[in-house]
Copies of this chain bind each other. A is one copy, B any other.
Amino acid sequence: MKGGPSQEDIRRHNLGTLLRFVHLRGPASRATLAESLGLNRSTIMALTADLTAAGLVREELPRGPGRRAGRPSLVVRPESTRVYVLAFEVGVDRLVVARVGLGGIVLDRREGVRSRDSDPADLIGVLVAGARSLVRKAERGAVCVGAAVGFPGTVRRSDDTIMFGPNLDVGDLRLGDLLSRRLGLGIPVSVCNDANLGALAEHERGAGVNSDNLIYLHGDVGVGGGIIAHGRLLTGDEGYGGEIGHMIVNPGGRPCACGSKGCLEAEVGERTLLAHAGREEIPGQPGRDAVRDIVASADAGDIVAREALQRVGTWLGFGVANLVNIFNPGLIVFGGTLRDIYLGAAAQIRSVLATGALAASREKVKLRTAALGDDTTLVGAAEFAFAEVLADPLQVLARLKAPEDSPV
């Protein structure tokens, strides 16, 4: 329990809120900002002046059509090419690095296939090389204000250490520290569970912009989850919250990489779907393509593929019903390979939901595919990396600018 904020706290809050507004919703006039933020025009002017001086926004004439007659109102626009973050996605089959500008603009990206037998040293080498080539191409004077990695496993929040990542055969890896040191940009690198980042991304820029209670389910080889409750990412005590893939939906069922049996991941993951469909993992072929093949075959009338999807859909339905009962969410979003599986097994999932969830809770819940497609993790990593500068814009910039002209 703490007393109210000081004037300095309020100024910091207001600077962050204004910057966040143009970051998430795009350029806005002072009038729009005053109305949306509930602040008066003179306060907006003062805040904008501070953010402009710090190089975070600029004011300019509105672009394009729709300008009315008379003196046009200036719009406040984020300095997207000058203020950026590095976003990393580590998938089982792919690695992506992107330079994302304030405003959420992907300025540049490098993407590569990850071999399923590569080790952590390879992983770090590829990520660092990709990031360096992006940083070199940034415009002169541009500032990197944060970096974050999305990873399919459990990550301890206190020190960005991967605790458990069976699908990449990685455990107890201080990925955040290692990347930060190798990059040498003087910024920490956060590491987060990929599905947690997917939930954040869909909440801030995707299917869940208007939903404060949503669940994001992500399929890669395994199944991950991210939960937004009361508008906030649910982390739990140590950052492991949202491990929906290890909810046991079928006690005594298929063995899971975690050591348990009948986890959602074990019953609906890529390998199980392939096994049900009588197909084998093809070395070198990303799992997502294999899943899409099965959905396409089912659509084309292949009975084995259709039955495989139905079996997986039933267990996914039990998982969804449980989540609806536990969270009373407004929205459930399917991403990664679960996007394809949902499209192929929606009827099955809805049928289990109709009997397995309480009427009151299931009545208004919407099931949707990820609006950000294959980039949920990457967009989430960028948003996570921006969090600090949005919370305290001037402090972060002052800190970054202190070691003047340090070589990158």
- A259 vs B353: C-alpha distance in the bound complex, in angstroms? 12
Residues 309-339 of A, flagged 1 when their CB comes within 8 A of B and 0 if not, give: 0000000001001100111111000000000
Contact B10 A14 (CB under 8 A): no
Q: Of A63-71, A232-240, A286-294, A393-401, which binds chain B?
A: A232-240
In the complex, the answer to whether B240 meets A37 with C-beta atoms within 8 Å is no
Measured CB to CB, the closest approach of chain B to A296, in angstroms, equals 29
Q: Is A278 an interface residue (CB 8 A)?
A: no
Within 8 Å by CB of A4, from B1, B5, B236, B248, lies B5
Bound CA span A328–B36, Å: 36
Could you list 26 A-B pairs, sorted by A, with CB under 8 Å? A2-B17, A2-B38, A3-B38, A3-B43, A4-B39, A5-B5, A5-B10, A163-B360, A164-B360, A213-B241, A227-B326, A230-B230, A236-B361, A237-B328, A237-B329, A237-B365, A238-B360, A238-B361, A241-B326, A243-B326, A244-B326, A248-B318, A248-B321, A250-B251, A259-B355, A326-B326
Whether A243 pairs with B325 at a CB distance below 8 angstroms is: yes
In the assembled complex, which residues on chain B have CB atoms less than 8 Å from the CB atom of A330?
237
| In the complex, residue of chain B having the shortest beta-carbon distance to the beta carbon of A243 | B325
1/0 per residue, CB under 8 A from B, across A144-170: the answer is 000000000010100000011000000
Q: How far is the CA of A359 from the CA of B260 in the complex (A)?
A: 11
Considering only CB atoms and an 8 Å cut-off, how many residues of chain A contact the other chain?
A: 70
- What's the least CB distance linking A170 to chain B, in Å? 14
Quote the shortest CB–CB distance from A155 to chain B (angstroms): 9
Contact A358 B1, beta carbon cutoff 8 Å: no
Which residues on A are within 8 Å of B, measured CB to CB? 1-5, 9-11, 13-14, 17-18, 20-21, 24, 36-39, 43, 154, 156, 163-164, 211-213, 225, 227, 229-230, 232, 234-244, 246-251, 258-260, 318, 321-322, 325-330, 355-361, 364-365
Q: Is A237 a contact of B213 with CB atoms below 8 Å? A: yes
Q: How far is the CA of A361 from the CA of B239 in the complex (A)?
A: 9
In Å, the complex CA distance between A156 and B234 comes to: 23
Assembled-state Cα–Cα distance A14/B251 (Å): 50
Nearest-CB residue, chain B, relative to A260: B356
- In the bound complex, how far is the Cα of B321 from the Cα of A11, in angstroms? 44
Partner of A357, one of B14, B241, B246: B246
Residues from chain B with a CB closer than 8 A to the CB of A243 are: 325-326, 328, 358, 361
> Within the complex, which residue of B1, B227, B236 is in contact with A329, where a contact is CB–CB below 8 Å?
B236
* Chain B residues positioned under 8 Å from A4 (CB to CB): 5, 9-11, 13-14, 17, 39
Residue of B nearest to A211 (CB): B237
Whether B244 contacts A325 by the Cβ 8 Å rule is yes
Query: Which 5 A-B residue pairings sit nearest by Cβ, starting from the closest?
Result: A236-B328, A4-B10, A3-B39, A240-B328, A3-B37
Q: Which residues of B contact A1 (CB under 8 A)?
A: 17, 20-21, 24, 36-37
Closest residue of B by beta carbon distance from A37: B3
Q: A2-B38, A3-B39 are in contact. Are A246 and B325 (CB under 8 A)?
A: yes
CB of A38 to closest CB in B, whole Å: 5
| B37/A234 in contact, CB under 8 A | no
The reply to whether B154 and A360 form a contact with Cβ atoms under 8 Å apart is yes
**Using Cβ atoms and an 8 Å threshold, which residues of chain B touch A318?**
248, 251
Q: Which residues of B contact A225 (CB under 8 A)?
A: 326
What is the minimal beta-carbon distance from A192 to any residue of chain B, in angstroms?
Answer: 14
List B contacts of A10 (CB < 8 A).
4-5
Residues of B within 8 A of A37 (CB): 1-3
Q: Chain B nearest CB: distance from A127 CB in Å?
A: 23
A154 to B359, CA, bound (A): 10
A25 to chain B, nearest CB (A): 9
Which among A10, A39, A225 has the highest number of chain B CB atoms within 10 Å?
A10
